[in-house]
């Protein structure tokens, strides 16, 4: 006898649906404990000589196929055809049948089995809607009425009219109270679900805002490339990785040649367009494993992961040649630029600032040597 969730099938992915089915199977197996406890009461009544042992055998013969049927429904996925895929109403109705049978044979001990039957209701308290409880109430009241009528016709000597009438009325009142409580629980769950959805929406919006903040903290506003702070942190991490695993990387500072002339001739807005174009060009030309960003002004920095200085120089020379042929769209028309670059490799265990300084010195020599070239530091 397992309780249920209200998860709509349509909202579940195939993986989540499979997990939900496995969970239902586990709950069904866990429910065997409840059957075992109920069976202990059935055996106890037999030991106290309220009925013959055949009643115990019949109860067991009911419990086994009931659970096999429920397990088969879940294992084959046929339970998913029900509005409640946990088939809680069906489980509780079927679970009540063996207790009602034992109740019929229990004579003056019927009250004990009545309590046991009503206890089944607890499993639906947090999953039933009010309508489900009305159906289950009707089933229990009618079933108990059938037990009383059968006792009247088959074992009239065991009937206690005043006691049985009072118990029937008590069942009706108890189930009405359970139905009322179930309605309250359903409304409460609805409000909680609505608040959870609202909270999820707020959390989603907050996550998006935090992601935007994180993105803004690591990106250059103009070009969308990584900023100097982020690059410095990435280089520090790469340095630690190289020291730990023995890897290599090259660091390049690339400076757009005669950028001041671009600004003076075409205006600063056109100069901004050129910087955006250079960033877009680098994004296309470099490997996914490499990083680049705006180092400052018209300077860009490149982190070439796994490349020694020779491989890094070859890559940088290829990039500069392609850049010289690239036309960058601006508000005043296409503009071509060249760039100079200084490259160095990381030499353990030096401080990253020393690596930066060596690349900067190499860049100075490249600019002094005629620009549009690469120098190694």
Question: Can you give the pLDDT at residue 3?
Answer: 45
CB atoms within 10 A of CB 288: 6
How much is the pLDDT for 6?
44
Question: Would you state the pLDDT for residue 134?
Answer: 82
Alpha helices (runs of H) in the chain, residue ranges in sequence order: 14-47, 53-76, 88-105, 110-119, 130-154, 161-218, 228-245, 259-266, 268-285, 309-324, 352-368
Tell me which of 25, 194, 243, 298 is the catalytic residue: 298
Helices 14-47 and 110-119 cross at an angle (nearest 10°) of 170
**Residue 220 within a domain:** no
Residue 69: inside a domain: yes
Among candidate residues 140, 168, 202, the one where a domain is terminated: 202
Two structure tokens written together for 232: 């410095």
Is residue 71 in some structural domain?
yes
CA distance 70 to 35: 14
Same domain, residue pair 168 and 246: no
In the residue annotation, 285 being an active-site residue is answered as no
* Mean of per-residue pLDDT scores for the chain: 86
- Overall domain count for the chain: 2
Q: What mean pLDDT is predicted for residues 45-50?
A: 91
- Asked whether residue 2 is domain-assigned, the answer is no
Q: Which of 168, 202, 236 is the last residue of a domain?
A: 202
CA angle 345, 351, 357 (to 5 degrees): 60
pLDDT exceeds 50 at position 133: yes
- pLDDT exceeds cutoff 60 at 34: yes
Residues 143, 282, single domain; the answer is no
Question: Rounded CA gap, 315 and 254, in Å?
Answer: 12
State whether 49 and 191 are in the same domain. yes
Instruction: Give, in order, the Cα–Cα distances in Å from 1 to each of 9, 21, 217.
Output: 21, 15, 54
CB 157 within 8 A of CB 109: no
Same domain, 74 and 174: yes
Q: Tell me, yes or no, whether 214 lies in a domain.
A: no
Cα separation of 259 and 114, whole Å?
92
Cα separation, 338 vs 342, in Å, equals 14
Range of the domain at 93: 9-202
For residues 97 and 243, state if they share a domain: no
From 154, 184, 202, give the residue that closes a domain. Answer: 202
Query: Has residue 195 got a pLDDT over 90?
Result: no
Could you tell me if residue 262 is inside a domain?
Answer: yes
- Of 352, 327, 347, residue with least CA distance to 337: 327
Are residues 71 and 126 both part of a single domain? yes
Cβ atoms within 10 Å of 93's Cβ, excluding its own: 17
Residue 210 is assigned to a structural domain of this protein: no
Tell whether pTM > 0.85: no
pLDDT in tens, 4-28: 444 444 456 777 788 888 888 888 8
H or E element, residue 293 = strand 291-296
181 is a domain residue: yes
Q: Using one digit for the tens of pLDDT, what is the confidence trace for 240-280?
A: 888 888 888 999 999 999 999 999 999 999 999 999 999 99
Phi, psi angles (nearest 5°) of residue 333: 115, 170
- The answer on 131 and 18 residing in a single domain is yes
Cβ neighbour number for residue 6 with a 10 Å cutoff: 15
Question: With contact defined as beta carbons under 8 Å apart, do 355 and 336 qualify?
Answer: no
| C-alpha closest to that of 282 among 259, 252, 240 | 252
Task: Please tell me whether residues 188 and 263 are part of one structural domain.
Answer: no
Residues 168 and 301 in one domain: no
Rg of the chain, C-alpha, whole Å? 39
Q: With cut-offs at 50, 70 and 90, classify the pLDDT of residue 362.
A: very high
- CATH number for the domain spanning 258: value is 3.30.70.270
* Mean local confidence (pLDDT), 329-352: 90
Pairing status of strand 374-376 against strand 339-345: parallel
**Alpha-carbon gap, residue 102 to 58, rounded angstroms:** 9
- CA distance linking residue 66 with residue 364, whole number of Å: 85
Span 88-131, pLDDT tens digits: 888 888 888 998 898 889 888 888 888 888 787 777 766 777 78
Nearest to 347 by CA among 194, 233, 243, 245: 243
Residue 286 sits in the same domain as residue 321: yes
pLDDT value at 152 more than 90: no
- Same domain, residue pair 193 and 275: no
Percent of the chain with pLDDT over 90: 37
Q: Which residue is associated with the tokens 């609202």?
A: 198
Q: Say if residue 197 is in the same domain as residue 282.
A: no
């Amino acid at each position: 006898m397992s309780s249920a969730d209200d998860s709509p099938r349509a909202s579940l992915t195939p993986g989540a649906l499979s997990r939900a089915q496995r969970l239902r199977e586990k709950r069904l197996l866990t429910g065997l404990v409840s059957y075992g406890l109920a069976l202990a009461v059935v055996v106890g009544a037999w030991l106290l000589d309220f009925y013959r042992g055949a009643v115990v055998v019949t109860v067991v013969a009911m419990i086994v196929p009931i659970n096999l049927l429920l397990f088969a429904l879940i294992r084959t996925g046929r339970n998913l055809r029900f509005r409640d895929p946990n088939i809680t109403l069906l489980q509780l109705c079927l679970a009540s049948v063996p207790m009602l049978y034992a109740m019929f044979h229990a004579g003056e001990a019927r009250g004990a089995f009545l309590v046991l039957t009503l206890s089944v209701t607890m499993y639906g308290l947090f999953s039933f809607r009010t309508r489900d409880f009305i159906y289950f109430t009707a089933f229990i009241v009618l079933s108990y009425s059938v037990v009383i009528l059968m006792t009247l016709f088959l074992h009239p000597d065991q009937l206690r009219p005043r006691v049985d009438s009072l118990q029937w009325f008590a069942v009706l009142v108890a189930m009405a109270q359970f139905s009322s409580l179930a309605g309250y629980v359903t409304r409460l769950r609805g409000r909680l679900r609505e608040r959870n959805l609202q909270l999820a929406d707020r959390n989603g919006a907050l996550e998006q805002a935090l992601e935007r903040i994180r993105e803004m903290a690591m990106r250059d506003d103009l070009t969308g490339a990584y900023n100097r702070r982020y690059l410095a942190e990435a280089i520090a991490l790469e340095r630690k990785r190289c020291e730990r695993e023995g890897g290599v990387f090259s660091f390049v500072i690339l400076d757009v040649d005669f950028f001041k002339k671009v600004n003076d001739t075409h205006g600063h807005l056109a100069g901004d367009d050129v910087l955006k174009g250079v960033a877009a060009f680098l994004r296309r030309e470099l490997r996914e494993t490499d990083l680049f960003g705006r180092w400052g002004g018209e300077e860009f920095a490149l982190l070439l992961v796994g490349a020694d200085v020779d491989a890094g120089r070859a890559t940088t020379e290829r990039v500069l040649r392609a850049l010289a042929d690239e036309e960058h769209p601006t508000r005043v028309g296409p503009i071509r630029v060249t760039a100079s670059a200084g490259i160095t490799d990381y030499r353990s265990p030096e401080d990253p600032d020393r690596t930066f300084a060596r690349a900067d010195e190499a860049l100075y020599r490249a600019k002094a040597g005629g620009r549009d070239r690469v120098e190694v530091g």
